[in-house]
Amino acid sequence: MATETETPVDAIDAFKALSNPIRLKILTWLRDPRGNFPVEQGIADPDEYGVCITQIRDRTGLAQSTVSSYMATLERAGLVTSTRVGKWTHYRRNEGRLAELGALFTGVI
């Protein structure tokens, strides 16, 4: 749950991050990493570490720099977290933050 100190600007930044259809689609795909991204031999467990940015790039068909920028925007908004595994960065959804944003619409906060 969001704290009483959360300002509307915090939520606005998160919703701005979601205003891009590709970023929203990536966040949706990350809800089910095993179902939306192939689990490859030797790649970190997607349930524990998230999905490698290379797999996200392959799924979107966008340039690495574009996907990196999109993921950085989602991370700054608190919607995903990143974990380094070797030389690769893996991303997973921040379910707590997503629940906070959802609660804004239900009147819980």
Is-contact 60 67, C-beta < 8 A?
yes
> What are the residue boundaries of the structural domains of the chain, listed by start?
8-106
What topology does CATH give the domain 8-106? Arc Repressor Mutant, subunit A (1.10.10)
Per-residue pLDDT of the chain (109 residues; tens, 9 = 90+): 445 545 566 788 899 999 999 999 999 999 999 899 887 655 678 878 899 999 999 999 999 999 999 999 999 999 999 999 889 999 999 999 999 888 887 765 5
The structure's pTM equals 0.84
The two tokens of residue 25 are 């689609």
Is-contact 53 11, C-beta < 8 A?
no
